[in-house]
Structure 1
């Protein structure tokens, strides 16, 4: 059942009121946290607090009750027990990149458990698996896996995004069409529940929770401390490509995309960025550079690129290339030299997922119209399909987006401060696209890793028929709703 957004907001407001009632317990929370041996605790009285509460998206300035930095699982357990005793909600934070600031809880008054110190990467070559600490970022994890023997994971491209958030919400990336989303490659997890218990979660231990966390685990059930992933060795060179098209050729570019995508092999993954200035196509192919002319011919015979850059390189170099770090040194993925350009900005995003191989003329016209209105707005079209479709829509895990062929991310960015015009543009653009979408599809589908607080019917759009089972599991695992945010899984339908 989809509750109206106004009802969900009202219920959430009540929960915030309850949080405020418990504000008087804050001193006891701090005292309890300070009693956890070795736990780093940062509160508003500390000089580190401003940095500790910074969100990826600078629109969000929520004030936590405290931010803690555990370096052991026992410290995570202790922090959870302290928050529960003080009736303070908990927000686990890994990379902090939640589009709606949910890494801070999405409101004031949370205990933020920052897992950044739990970042080890351990490789087991015999089983083809790796244990990765839940606080690891994608860039450092990719680098560690590569150094261990040319291994990698099929996750996202932004190096400072947390492995946890990426995997728990799906995790579509460069190798998605070949090896599916990151959630599908989770073999096991270590998990701290609302009682502060440390659990092993896999197909045999807590199987319902294992099902739920892979696709719907974004801040709803507990704190994951480590992931066991299936990893992939890619020793051979791969091919990266970049092409540009003029904005004036938009009809043929989109026509070519549809014609090409219907027969594109799983070994290729692409991203098409469309802005008022034109199109930028980037992609990776798990094969030799010599294949590219034949591989792209169906598209480029319809829309000829104005610029091209095709290179053969190692997989780790390709990951670096698409991370947008201004360096050719793979060590830059360690992020020890700074957060990089992908962090801390004013940003807003929305998404829609499309089943059809083609975009309607009406949708293309709407996109063209709105992109011409705002120079810093753009859309990103990702080609889905491939291995992502090889799982049933409901079954293996809670990631339900299996039939989709394309994903569109709608993006607005600006330089500083409040920009109501930027948000109004995004909202108006998306709403017109949504009206057209509903004419073509029976149900709205959107990607939960691009979480959108204003999306009507979000529970259906993100989780579809998995929703009732998710609510049931939530009620069992976290009946007190300790782990919550404005779009977390609730304890009742």
Structure 2
């Protein structure tokens, strides 16, 4: 931290300590933010409604204020003002938190919106890049590619912010080839609970660096990510097979999934060049992925083995089957749901984002192959209980391949980062929602709880976990700490949290330290 930053931090801290003696928490916060000229908004601001609207409209919280940071110093001032005025803090990178934790996860927190921190700069000498904390994933793709045709692995929604995504894993259809988004990190600039602006890396503030890569919401606010990138491929294979005909009955579904899992674990055909998963809906079953090889090899060697023993994929009008060779940016756009690569570009200013849903989601990480009994329970539940979910409610189940032969996701361990589920084969997202303009159907929550149970109860010896980017607000803090971090990682995280944030400035209902301090 340089001298000017240190001086700024000390002045703000001294000022707030002076006024917090006689001011209420909210009045203290407003006076501090105003005096330090930190861009901030309160409930009487015309922009308030757009700034606080969450992605998940099921979970609405009212912050104490929103800081729209233009630089790391604004983040630092916001953290110091909140800490000394006894107000909790959460960062908002894209605002896509499933549990609305980017709104604080409760009323009365300070939200620090990073949307204005939205630049990407590639070092042409070594191909590394600096990505600011508020950049959305579609813009990451667009800006990396524009600066030397660079690329990195990350998720499949272009409007997600990089901050929460990369620091809690960040799976995408390039991850078996390049690792998770988190695995691209080589250093970070972070604001800690004492307001300091620090650099963390494998050789500088190593414990904080380790903790941020898996649990940043509890440790600090990252303003810059230093990442490795790859040269984007000129071409790759985008593929989707519409295998809805496997749903004709449960035995056919189970036999088909057994064949699919056998392919996933076969090193003769499955290597790091293939990342894929399945989508199950009430009357839909799709296999979808990327192959970093030629269309000829895919069509003549890989696909015949993948489809062996399965009903033929549906083709023609109304079928989703689509196999083609595409450019890198085309592949990203297609997985985002676009045909036009220009659609990658996403809103960059605070309050501009206007895509929302009304939903609940649960996740599972599965380290063992699914058994025939678990597959049977999975498809039976989908066919019977899934059929009872009627409009305006809907549901889907997405299962992605993490592990298997040659995966670059599970080559790391708990010494590498605080991200837990390196040994997973499958990672599951079960998701239920209601159409816009409707009240959430509370029956969807037990529906998803039981859906997860249907996948786990026939595999009682398996150590299931959960994926933090599909955060589940129905968990207790104790359950979340075990599922997202486990008994090996969590104690080290807790020790770091108690050292760098003993007052729990960075808080949400499932944060590291909740229930332990």
Tell me the distance in 1 between the aligned counterparts of 2:374 and 2:433: 25
Tell me the distance in 2 between the aligned counterparts of 1:147 and 1:187: 21
User: Where do 1:326-345 residues align within 5 Å?
Assistant: 327-328=339-340, 330-336=341-347, 343-345=355-357
Query: Residues 70 and 117 of structure 2 are in contact (CA less than 8 Å); yes or no, is this contact kept in structure 1?
Result: yes
Q: What's the CA shift for 1:257?
A: 1.3
Q: What's the CA shift for 1:299?
A: 2.6
Q: Give the aligned partner of residue 259 of structure 1.
A: 262
**Residue 426 (structure 2) pairs with residue 419 (structure 1):** no
Q: Give the aligned partner of residue 282 of structure 1.
A: 288
Query: Residues 432 and 444 of structure 2 are in contact (CA less than 8 Å); yes or no, is this contact kept in structure 1?
Result: yes
Q: Give the aligned partner of residue 388 of structure 2.
A: 373
1:446 match: secondary structure: coil
Counterpart of 2:475 (choices 452, 455, 463) is 455
Q: Give the aligned partner of residue 451 of structure 2.
A: 429
**Residue 322 (structure 2) pairs with residue 309 (structure 1):** yes
Q: Give the aligned partner of residue 486 of structure 1.
A: 509
Tell me the distance in 2 between the aligned counterparts of 1:200 and 1:139: 26
Tell me the distance in 1 between the aligned counterparts of 2:46 and 2:445: 32
Q: What's the CA shift for 1:342?
A: 9.5
Distance 1:337 1:364, change over 3 A: farther
Q: Give the aligned partner of residue 237 of structure 1.
A: 235
Give the CA RMSD over aligned residues. Answer: 2.1
Query: Residues 158 and 342 of structure 1 are in contact (CA less than 8 Å); yes or no, is this contact kept in structure 2?
Result: no
1:389 match: secondary structure: coil
Q: Give the aligned partner of residue 408 of structure 2.
A: 387
Tell me the distance in 2 between the aligned counterparts of 1:154 and 1:423: 31
**Residue 494 (structure 2) pairs with residue 476 (structure 1):** no
Q: What's the CA shift for 1:334?
A: 1.1
Tell me the distance in 2 between the aligned counterparts of 1:104 and 1:207: 29
Q: Give the aligned partner of residue 446 of structure 1.
A: 466
TM-score, length-scaled by structure 1: 0.90
User: Where do 1:16-55 residues align within 5 Å?
Assistant: 24-37=24-37, 39-55=38-54
Query: Residues 238 and 314 of structure 1 are in contact (CA less than 8 Å); yes or no, is this contact kept in structure 2?
Result: yes
Q: What is the CA deviation profile of residues 100-148 of structure 1, one whole-angstrom value per residue up to 9, with x for unaligned ones?
A: 1111111000000000001110001222210000000111111000111
Tell me the distance in 2 between the aligned counterparts of 1:151 and 1:277: 39
Tell me the distance in 2 between the aligned counterparts of 1:490 and 1:59: 26
Q: What's the CA shift for 1:180?
A: 0.8
Q: What's the CA shift for 1:331?
A: 2.1
Q: Give the aligned partner of residue 5 of structure 1.
A: none
Tell me the distance in 1 between the aligned counterparts of 2:41 and 2:79: 15
Query: Residues 272 and 282 of structure 1 are in contact (CA less than 8 Å); yes or no, is this contact kept in structure 2?
Result: yes
TM-score, length-scaled by structure 2: 0.86
Q: Which runs of 5+ in 1 are unaligned?
A: 1-21
Q: What is the CA deviation profile of residues 137-188 of structure 1, one whole-angstrom value per residue up to 9, with x for unaligned ones?
A: 1111110001112111111010111111111101111111011111111000
Q: What's the CA shift for 1:49?
A: 1.0
Q: How many residues matched?
A: 465
Tell me the distance in 2 between the aligned counterparts of 1:350 and 1:340: 28
Q: What's the CA shift for 1:474?
A: 0.5
Tell me the distance in 1 between the aligned counterparts of 2:94 and 2:176: 24
1:407 match: secondary structure: strand
1:164 match: secondary structure: helix
Query: Residues 374 and 456 of structure 2 are in contact (CA less than 8 Å); yes or no, is this contact kept in structure 1?
Result: no
Q: Give the aligned partner of residue 157 of structure 2.
A: 158
